[in-house]
Amino acid sequence: MDKIQYKYENLLSLVFLIGALFTGYIVYSNLDKGFIFNDEAFYLFFYRDHETLPTIDATNFYRIFHVFFTENIYLFRCITYGLLNISTFLLFFFISRYYKLKVNALLIGFLGVMINFLTWRISNIVLHQYIGNTILINISLTCILLFLIYRKVFPLPIAGFTLGLLLFDGIPHTLVLIPIAAFLLFNFWKNSKKTIIYIVAGGILGIAFYFTFIESFSKFISQLEWIKIYKEFHTKQHPKRFYIFWILKVAGFVFAPVAVLTGWLHWFSKNKIRDLNYILIILAAVFIISNFFFSSIYINYVLLALLIYRYCLEDISNEKKSMLIVLFLIPFGLSFGSGAYFEVRGMLYNIYYYIALAVIILSLYQVRYFMIFVILLAYQCFIFPNILKERGWKDFVFTEQTEKVNIGGHDLYLDKERKKDIEDLRPYLQNQQNIIYSSNHLMGYLYILNAKPPIYYYFALKNYVSFIIKKTGKTPDDFIYIESDDYPFSPKEIVPLQFVSQPEKYKTVKAGRFTLHLPSHYQKK
């Protein structure tokens, strides 16, 4: 009977392979299209100039992974996505082996790849710390799983090494180390301290590697000092109340309901499994319906937490139970401190959610429940091509990216308006230095034209720009000022000809949708 059931589950799981190939084709065949003119350019500047730039993002993805940087943006996107997919495939493959799931481990590996494409889609986010954190966590968990399966210690230092690097890949996100450390202490502190010693030794090696080959300790400290300076000007960027609200929302919408429900089941329910199943049916129904309309990540995580509780009621090893808890908690650690609440950033870490869900369904339930899981994912694959026609993040539509533009010696396809903008600005900004721009939405033009500001800033705050100008030993009159019809300088921040001391020496020109204020010493290059 089991062999027949395994046969059906493997047959259903072919959807994972087909879905990974289908979504992957759509993603990779469109990675040479479009350019996000704020965030993507922001990070690409750092990759290109990381040796000379003081930057508040010194602890993010580009510092650790800049070895893979190439001016060929399409190739760089392929590389970063490839690193993510390889690390995820290995994680899912060895989780399948560790839990001895009923599905071929290779098919479970492709489930991870498919979820990557469904989650990250075609986004500039593949360039910065969120994907970097994911790669490092995937590698470390894979090595820990190798140890758990084969009981060989050689993967442990590698796991520790990647966790050591994670310390420098976005400071708030290092909270993710807490559930991993708790897992190791809970399972091995009494019985096998050498397991923890090998991990810690690898972590120390990772830290030493970072300060030897990636960034000097003195430069790292100077970056932390720069963050302190930056925070003084950007009080609206990650204020304390942001972290308070983040914690309150996660606690109120996930951990409080889970605590109430599990507490009631544990202390008052006379038939825990029966009552829990009723609750799970209701939450699963909401989860399924929301996937067709509007997904509620908070409900999803309440469902997963109760499924883990259901899993813990079985006679299964504490190692396997606690590993599921780690997978549950990782998205909370990785998303903490980012520029949005958990309902936005938490979705980026769906791979940990869905592999935990798959483990529980395949371990505890019959094939029909797994069929529902597969159908939901198949539906997501079916509607995936719609992203090419949607006006996505930052007004980006892939079907409009038809004009070839040379960027850094390599071709990329942009829309007609952007290409015209570039040609309008090229006579004035090509290879120019010392540019103050009105909005981060204009950084892409500077990157394409190899034009540089004194530092790459996200907001045009008057006091901050004044500070940067003074720090570079220049005056406001040494700079070119650029604004667009869509993003003019805010009168509350900077009015260029009021900001400089000798406005009569400036020449104001219109270049398509842009206005440029050129100083008297301006020369075309």
Lowest mean pLDDT among 233-242, 244-253, 405-414: 233-242
Report which of residues 457 and 331 the model is more confident about.
331
Write a three-state SS string for 186-236. HHHCCCCHHHHHHHHHHHHHHHHHHHHHHCCHHHHHHHHHHHHHHHHHCCC
Distances 319 to 20, 145, 184, 312, 333 between C-alpha atoms, Å = 30, 11, 9, 11, 20
d(CA 440, CA 446) in angstroms, rounded, equals 10
If you average pLDDT over residues 460-485, what whole number do you get?
92
Query: Does residue 2 have a pLDDT over 50?
Result: no
Distances 15 to 18, 90, 108, 257, 373 between C-alpha atoms, Å = 5, 18, 10, 34, 11
d(CA 281, CA 103) in angstroms, rounded, equals 24
**Position 222 confidence tier, pLDDT thresholds 50, 70, 90:** confident
**HSE (side-chain half, CA atoms, 13 Å) at 509:** 13
Percent of the chain with pLDDT over 90: 68
Length of the chain: 525
Query: Does residue 240 have a pLDDT over 80?
Result: no
If you average pLDDT over residues 296-301, what whole number do you get?
92
Across 290-448, the runs of DSSP E, i.e. the strands, are 403-407, 410-414, 435-437
Q: Which two tokens stand for residue 240?
A: 């304390």
**What pLDDT, on the 0 to 100 scale, is given for residue 208?**
96
Query: Does residue 294 have a pLDDT over 70?
Result: yes
Report which of residues 232 and 375 the model is more confident about.
375
CB distance 449 to 429 below 8 Å:
yes
Q: Is 518 helix (H, G, I), strand (E, B) or coil?
A: strand
**Position 339 confidence tier, pLDDT thresholds 50, 70, 90:** low
Q: What is the pLDDT of residues 20-45, one digit of tens each?
A: 999 999 999 999 999 989 888 888 88
Q: Phi then psi for 46, rounded to 5 degrees?
A: -65, -40
Query: Does residue 393 have a pLDDT over 80?
Result: no
Q: What is 236-284 written as a DSSP string?
A: TSS-HHHHHHHHHHHIIIIIHHHHHHHHHHHHT-SSHHHHHHHHHHHHH
**What pLDDT, on the 0 to 100 scale, is given for residue 471?**
86
CB distance 143 to 95 below 8 Å:
no
CB distance 169 to 59 below 8 Å:
yes
CB distance 381 to 118 below 8 Å:
yes
Distances 337 to 207, 239, 341 between C-alpha atoms, Å = 22, 10, 9
**What pLDDT, on the 0 to 100 scale, is given for residue 128?**
64
**Position 1 confidence tier, pLDDT thresholds 50, 70, 90:** very low
Q: Which two tokens stand for residue 130?
A: 């969120």
Lowest mean pLDDT among 16-20, 166-170, 230-234, 307-311: 230-234
Report which of residues 170 and 474 the model is more confident about.
474
**What pLDDT, on the 0 to 100 scale, is given for residue 53?**
62
Across 390-470, the runs of DSSP E, i.e. the strands, are 403-407, 410-414, 435-437
For the chain, the straight-line distance linking the first and the last C-alpha, in angstroms and rounded, comes to: 76
Q: What is the pLDDT of residues 366-390, one digit of tens each?
A: 899 999 999 999 999 999 999 999 8
From 388, 422, 425, select the one nearest 407 (Cα to Cα). Answer: 422
Q: What is the pLDDT of residues 254-269, one digit of tens each?
A: 999 999 999 999 999 8
CB distance 381 to 22 below 8 Å:
yes
Query: Does residue 178 have a pLDDT over 60?
Result: yes
**Position 524 confidence tier, pLDDT thresholds 50, 70, 90:** confident
**Position 289 confidence tier, pLDDT thresholds 50, 70, 90:** confident
d(CA 319, CA 307) in angstroms, rounded, equals 17
Query: Does residue 236 have a pLDDT over 80?
Result: no
Reported as type and span, the H/E element at residue 456 is none
Q: What is the pLDDT of residues 499-523, one digit of tens each?
A: 999 999 999 999 999 999 999 999 9
Query: Does residue 336 have a pLDDT over 80?
Result: yes
**What pLDDT, on the 0 to 100 scale, is given for residue 445?**
97
If you average pLDDT over residues 335-345, what whole number do you get?
78
